[in-house]
């Protein structure tokens, strides 16, 4: 199929930008320019829209295999498409854990058969996420794993993490660290502070995150290898990363929309949809995330899409599962808070949500150019809309931003030249 995308404003860091038409043919960008014409092409009018490289999410949970009642590759990739993502990297805390070539291949095969977007498996650092024995990273990478993480269960033993970094260095593989000292965080369900005291809920100290961030930085620095810090949430963590980068440490880092669009104040009312790990922090921490995004300390914005069944959230706050279903609100929240809020330019936002994640994972994406795969996203940024979680493509409706008015509704997602999301509907 041949498509001609017209009347949109192309935001394309490092490439052609402006009021350009894009011709898509045979899965690639066949032309970019003003007033293009193709008699046999389907014309898609994108007036009032930004057109950009497809978003790349380097941190999400598709739940399959093992937890399909929460999400599946089928539903999760459709939710990703609805959010403007053309590629997603899924974490290994599945059942069985993604610590074998068989599970990596299963995810890739299932995504090829049923997925709406590209899927990049992330395998575990340790077998079974137990922190006791390293996974066979070389074989897993050869099978298709793009990175390694024990996300949700940090590698608590520093010697094991050091061995993991040393081993990964042999394959130029990336380790992604979920930074949490479990002993310090034990019993906590929200940020530790005045609000947790007021609500009578166990607090999670920011130190539990910052200690592990410091550890990973020191290990990477000593070993002269790279490490990526997941879902940064505190001012202290951002400052540690900032200082490390200034010293030349090969550390990259991400944050998530909920850490710059919300604070612990949202927990007042005990809505379990606000329960996430790491927890929502203070207004000062939120401001620190904005500063760190603006100055480049934080390289990427990831969703940490963590869908749950309603029964796992409709319980007491202490018992509720942690996580936010984030694919379908990530871009709009980011555009509203960061671009309309004057924190980032449109180009800078696309770098954080497309270019940088692709570069960190060393995968294609993040560019619109003649001959490049036609992974394209367009968003209507002129018409505000209200988030309605009941309309999510994801099985998980656990999102605390329902009812919020935002700008940046994704209206078109195209993966390798195939339209998968258009005007509020999945079209595959």
Handedness of CA 390, 393, 394, 399 (dihedral sign): negative
Contact predicate 346/375, CB 8 Å: no
152: its two tokens = 């949700």
CA–CA distance, 4 with 352 (Å, rounded to integer) = 27
Burial of 16 (0-12, 13-18, 19+ CB in 10 A): middle
- List of E strands, 130-269: 147-149, 175-177, 190-191, 203-204, 227-229, 251-255
Three-class DSSP labels, 231-281:
CCCCHHHHHHHHHHHHHCCCEEEEECHHHHHCCHHHHCCCCHHHCCCCCCC
Q: Which residue has the tokens 């994108």?
A: 46
CA–CA distance, 268 with 198 (Å, rounded to integer) = 9
CA–CA distance, 238 with 323 (Å, rounded to integer) = 21
Half-sphere exposure of 73 (CA within 13 A, CB side): 24
Which residues lie below 8 Å from residue 114, measured CB to CB, with a gap of 6+?
73, 74, 77
- Which member of 21, 304, 375, 388 is catalytic? 304
How many CB atoms are located within 10 Å of the residue 207 CB? 15
Q: Which residue has the tokens 């006791």?
A: 132
Half-sphere exposure of 367 (CA within 13 A, CB side): 11
Active site residue 347: no
* Cα pseudo-dihedral 388, 257, 393, 314, rounded to 10: -70
Which residues lie below 8 Å from residue 113, measured CB to CB, with a gap of 6+?
none
Q: DSSP per residue over 126-179, as a string?
A: BGGG-SSSB--HHHHHHHT--EEE-TTS----HHHHHHHHHHHHHTTPPEEE--
CA–CA distance, 169 with 163 (Å, rounded to integer) = 10
Contact predicate 381/335, CB 8 Å: yes
Q: Which residue has the tokens 């339209």?
A: 419
428: its two tokens = 């595959």
Q: Would you please indicate which residues are annotated as catalytic (active-site) residues?
A: 304
């Amino acid at each position: 199929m041949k498509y001609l995308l017209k009347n949109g404003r192309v935001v394309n860091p490092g490439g052609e930008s402006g009021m350009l038409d894009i011709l898509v043919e045979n899965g690639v960008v066949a032309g970019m320019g003003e007033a293009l014409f193709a008699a046999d092409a389907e014309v898609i009018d994108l007036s009032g829209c930004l057109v950009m490289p497809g978003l790349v999410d380097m941190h999400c949970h598709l739940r399959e295999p093992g937890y399909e009642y929460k999400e599946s590759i089928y539903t999760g990739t459709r939710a990703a498409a609805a959010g403007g993502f053309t590629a997603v990297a899924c974490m290994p805390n599945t059942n069985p854990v993604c610590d074998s070539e068989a599970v990596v291949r299963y995810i890739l095969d299932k995504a090829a058969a049923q997925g709406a977007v590209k899927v990049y498996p992330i395998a575990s650092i340790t077998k079974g996420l137990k922190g006791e024995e390293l996974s066979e990273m070389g074989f897993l990478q050869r099978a298709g794993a793009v990175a390694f993480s024990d996300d949700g269960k940090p590698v608590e033993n520093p010697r094991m993490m050091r061995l993991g970094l040393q081993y990964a260095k042999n394959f130029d593989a990336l380790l992604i660290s979920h930074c949490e000292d479990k002993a310090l965080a034990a019993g906590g369900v929200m940020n530790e502070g005045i609000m947790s005291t007021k609500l009578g809920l166990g607090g999670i100290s920011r130190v539990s995150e910052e200690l592990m961030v410091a550890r990973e930085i020191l290990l990477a620095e000593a070993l002269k290898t790279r490490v990526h810090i997941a879902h940064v949430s505190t001012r202290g963590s951002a400052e540690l990363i900032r200082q490390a980068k200034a010293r030349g440490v090969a550390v990259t880092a991400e944050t998530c929309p909920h850490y710059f669009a919300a604070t612990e104040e949202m927990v007042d009312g005990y809505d379990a949809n606000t329960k996430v790990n790491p927890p929502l922090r203070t207004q000062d921490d939120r401001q620190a995330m904005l500063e760190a995004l603006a100055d480049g300390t934080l390289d990427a914005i990831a969703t940490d899409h963590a869908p749950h069944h309603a029964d796992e959230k409709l319980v007491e706050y202490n018992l509720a599962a942690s996580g936010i279903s984030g694919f379908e609100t990530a871009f709009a929240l980011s555009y509203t808070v960061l671009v309309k809020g004057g924190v980032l330019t449109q180009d800078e936002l696309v770098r954080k949500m497309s270019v940088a994640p692709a570069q960190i994972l060393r995968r294609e994406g993040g560019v619109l150019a003649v001959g490049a795969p036609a992974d394209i996203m367009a968003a209507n940024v002129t018409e505000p809309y209200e988030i309605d979680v009941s309309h999510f493509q994801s099985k998980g409706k656990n999102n605390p931003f329902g009812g919020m008015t935002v700008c940046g509704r994704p209206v078109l997602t195209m993966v390798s030249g195939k339209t998968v999301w258009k005007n509020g509907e999945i079209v595959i």
